[in-house]
Amino acid sequence: MNRNKRIAIYGTLRKRMPAPTTELEYGTPFELLVAVILSAQATDVSVNKATDRLYPVANTPQAIYDLGVDGLKPYIRTIGLFNSKAANIVRTCRILLDEHGGEVPRTRQELEALPGVGRKTANVVLNTAFGEPTIAVDTHIFRVSNRTGLAPGKTPLEVEKRLVRLTPEEFRKDAHHWLILHGRYVCKARKPLCGECPIVEWCEYRQKELP
């Protein structure tokens, strides 16, 4: 796929979603961090239901640390892998309090040093909370990037590096949100809604399907 097609794709997505953002509900970088840790192998809807219960009670590193693992579990019990996630979140709170003054760090290295935080989670926090032009490759972005030909790759890291390198700078900050929302609601895994797709004319997958 050439640069002009990429510009057309991102330009079209920008017209449809001028101010894209995550569907996770949060008010502070810390609330976003906890929500993203919870979102691994879980839907944003289920995470929002859990944090709706949790955050009115505890939404700071100190408050959640004071709850402890056993106190946190009832609030997130409906989330998959809640036992390990509770342990990771409480350990993360301890590190934030001890090493970062209770604040969420703003570097990838420091974020990835937190329990339960991998590269994808760090990218989401850097992009959504701090406005960095990072791209977190989840299953939706991986699929869209390969299916459309936007940035094909065999691994999430390979796709991420290609997206960062090939995405024009003016689109880089919002590319993460455009692609994840497009994959979630239009370019679905089993039955992509090609007839409703605003970028279908530049999509290599669709072009292969046409006679």
Residues 6+ apart with CB under 8 A from 64: 34, 54, 58, 72, 89, 90, 93
The count of other CB atoms within 10 Å of the CB of residue 122 is 24
How many angstroms separate the CA atoms of 119 and 136, rounded? 8
**Which residues are known to be catalytic?**
120, 138
